[in-house]
């Protein structure tokens, strides 16, 4: 598959009063043309920071992309681009939808003007043509009465409708890459499912590559081609959807799978409820980041960071249990396609 995006050894830090917060630590991944990648993990594991690094949207929050990091997008070195060059790419070739539409949309502008503004930033066109395009886009994201809705301000729309507007803005210029950062988290379950259906059909229709950021593995199986599980700023497991759901290898992935409602409920109560919190990102990493919360932790886990080990071309796991001499451990009942007879 042709690569659209290649991230290599991405390290991002924030300098705070308490010290250097190492939010992303040596993350590498590829995304192919028309491919959908799900980035999953608990709050604070570095999903948004990784996504914003790809868009070069970190400077406002003080995030520093460290030397040695590489981001190639459509053959361009994203980290070497000027602000002007970046502005040309952002919103046209790559777009991002954020979790909170209320803060991402401008409360003082009608949604019609916000969609048209994005079109004008990248294209020389007439107001009439931009308006027609805005109506077309609102129809595309299934907003009823688009001509009337154009005149609405964000607060006049429901949360689900606002997310649809965000999607319309993101798609206005037919991007090759869409990053959707928790696009449905703030919404109720029915609206979440409708929006995921919409995103799925738009991905096909526009032949886009998509990075879906979520803490919910439940929405991933029907959407993504591949999954990367993040923990404490690192990728602890990656694989195709089948590899992650049928033969997950990392105890943290098992914990996430256990927490999908309706799945492995029995094992969840017996074997896995994620106790404790992720490690302090101010501290250097000298052990497996999951060690303090892992029920399979061995002495080696507290002495050395496990390297990522590839079981197939696509399935990588960073866990000492993959060492040939480690004890054989199977996941909790109900997780993956393992036989627990």
Ligand X SMILES: Nc1ncnc2c1ncn2[C@@H]1O[C@H](COP(=O)(O)OP(=O)(O)OP(=O)(O)O)[C@@H](O)[C@H]1O
- Asked if residue 172 lies in contact with residue 90, where contact means CB atoms within 8 angstroms, the answer is no
Closest distance of CB 120 from Mg ion, Å: 30
Q: Which of 4, 7, 31, 45 binds ligand X (CB under 6 A)?
A: 45
**Pattern of binders to ligand SF4 over 277-296, x per CB under 6 A?**
-----------x-xx--x-x
User: Which of residues 183 and 248 has its CB atom nearest to ligand SF4 in the complex?
Assistant: 248
Residues 53-82 that bind ligand SF4 (CB under 6 A): none
Residue 96 contact among Mg ion, ligand SF4, ligand X, none, beta carbon within 5 to 8 Å by kind:
none
**Pattern of binders to ligand X over 248-267, x per CB under 6 A?**
--------------------
Strand order in the sheet with 316-317: 94-97, 177-181, 209-214, 36-40, 226-231, 234-240, 316-317, 309-310
Closest distance of CB 298 from ligand SF4, Å: 6
Q: How far apart are the first and last CA of the chain?
A: 39
Q: Which of 3, 6, 8, 14 binds ligand X (CB under 6 A)?
A: 14
Q: Which of 11, 13, 48, 184 binds Mg ion (CB under 5 A)?
A: 48
How would you class 314 by CB atoms within 10 Å of its CB: exposed for 0-12, middle for 13-18, buried for 19 or more?
middle
Which residue is associated with the tokens 């040596």?
26
Residue 140 contact among ligand SF4, ligand X, Mg ion, none, beta carbon within 5 to 8 Å by kind:
none
- Binding segment for ligand X (CB under 6 A), chosen from 36-44, 102-110, 245-253, 259-267, is 36-44
User: Which of residues 58 and 229 has its CB atom nearest to ligand SF4 in the complex?
Assistant: 229
Quick check: 158 binds ligand X (CB under 6 A)? no
Residue number, nearest CB to Mg ion:
48
Quick check: 38 binds ligand X (CB under 6 A)? no
What is the distance between the alpha carbons of residues 276 and 296, in angstroms, rounded to a whole number?
Answer: 15
Which residue is associated with the tokens 């004008």?
120
What is the distance between the alpha carbons of residues 248 and 331, in angstroms, rounded to a whole number?
Answer: 8
**Pattern of binders to ligand X over 278-297, x per CB under 6 A?**
---x----------------
What is the distance between the alpha carbons of residues 47 and 68, in angstroms, rounded to a whole number?
Answer: 20
Three-state SS annotation for 220-279 = CCCCCCEEEEEECCEEEEEEEHHHHHHCCCCHHHHHHHHCCCCCCHHHHHHHCCCCCCCC
- Asked if residue 262 lies in contact with residue 253, where contact means CB atoms within 8 angstroms, the answer is no
Closest distance of CB 192 from ligand X, Å: 15
Quick check: 321 binds ligand SF4 (CB under 6 A)? yes
- Asked if residue 250 lies in contact with residue 239, where contact means CB atoms within 8 angstroms, the answer is no
Phi/psi-derived region of residue 315, left when phi > 0, alpha when psi is between -120 and 50, beta in every other case: beta
What is the distance between the alpha carbons of residues 265 and 271, in angstroms, rounded to a whole number?
Answer: 10
User: Which of residues 198 and 319 has its CB atom nearest to ligand SF4 in the complex?
Assistant: 319
What is the distance between the alpha carbons of residues 115 and 118, in angstroms, rounded to a whole number?
Answer: 5
Distances (CA, A) of 318 to 43, 228, 301, 311, 323: 20, 12, 11, 11, 10
Q: Which of 35, 40, 47, 114 binds ligand X (CB under 6 A)?
A: 47
Quick check: 319 binds ligand SF4 (CB under 6 A)? yes
What is the distance between the alpha carbons of residues 126 and 221, in angstroms, rounded to a whole number?
Answer: 42
Q: Which of 26, 44, 91, 175 binds ligand X (CB under 6 A)?
A: 44
Quick check: 320 binds ligand SF4 (CB under 6 A)? yes
Residue 321 contact among ligand X, ligand SF4, Mg ion, none, beta carbon within 5 to 8 Å by kind:
ligand SF4
Contact set with ligand SF4 (CB under 6 A):
250-251, 288, 290-291, 294, 296-298, 301, 306, 319-321
* List of residues contacting ligand X (CB under 6 A): 14, 16, 21, 23, 41, 43-49, 61-62, 215, 281
């Amino acid at each position: 598959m042709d690569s659209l995006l290649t991230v290599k050894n991405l390290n991002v830090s924030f300098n705070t009063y308490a010290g250097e917060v190492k939010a992303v630590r040596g993350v590498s991944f590829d995304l192919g043309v028309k491919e959908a990648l799900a980035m999953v993990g608990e709050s604070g594991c570095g999903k948004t920071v990784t996504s914003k690094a790809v868009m070069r949207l970190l400077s406002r929050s003080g995030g520093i992309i460290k030397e040695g990091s590489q981001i190639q997008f459509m053959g361009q070195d994203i980290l070497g681009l000027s602000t002007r060059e970046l502005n040309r790419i952002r919103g046209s070739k790559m777009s991002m939808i954020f979790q909170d539409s209320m803060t991402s949309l401008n409360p003082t502008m009608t949604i019609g003007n916000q969609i048209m503004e994005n079109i004008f930033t990248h294209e020389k066109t007439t107001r009439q043509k931009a308006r027609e395009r805005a109506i077309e886009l609102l129809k595309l994201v299934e907003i009823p009465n688009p001509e009337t809705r154009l005149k609405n301000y964000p607060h006049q729309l429901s949360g689900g409708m606002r997310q649809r507007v965000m999607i319309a803005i993101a798609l206005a210029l037919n991007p090759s890459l869409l990053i959707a950062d928790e696009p449905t988290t703030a919404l109720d379950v029915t609206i979440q499912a409708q929006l995921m259906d919409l995103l799925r059909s738009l991905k096909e229709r526009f032949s886009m590559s998509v990075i879906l950021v979520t803490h919910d593995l439940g929405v991933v199986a029907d959407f993504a081609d591949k999954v990367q599980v993040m923990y404490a700023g690192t990728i602890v497991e990656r694989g195709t959807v089948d590899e992650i759901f049928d033969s997950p290898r990392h105890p943290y992935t098992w914990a996430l799978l256990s927490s999908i409602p309706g799945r492995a409920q029995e094992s969840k109560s017996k074997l896995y409820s994620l106790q404790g919190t992720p490690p302090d990102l101010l501290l250097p990493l000298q052990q497996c980041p999951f060690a303090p919360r892992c029920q399979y932790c061995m002495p080696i886990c507290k002495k050395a960071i496990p390297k990522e080990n590839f079981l197939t071309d696509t399935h990588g796991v960073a866990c000492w249990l993959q060492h040939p001499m480690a004890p054989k451990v199977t996941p909790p009942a109900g997780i993956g396609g393992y036989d627990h007879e």
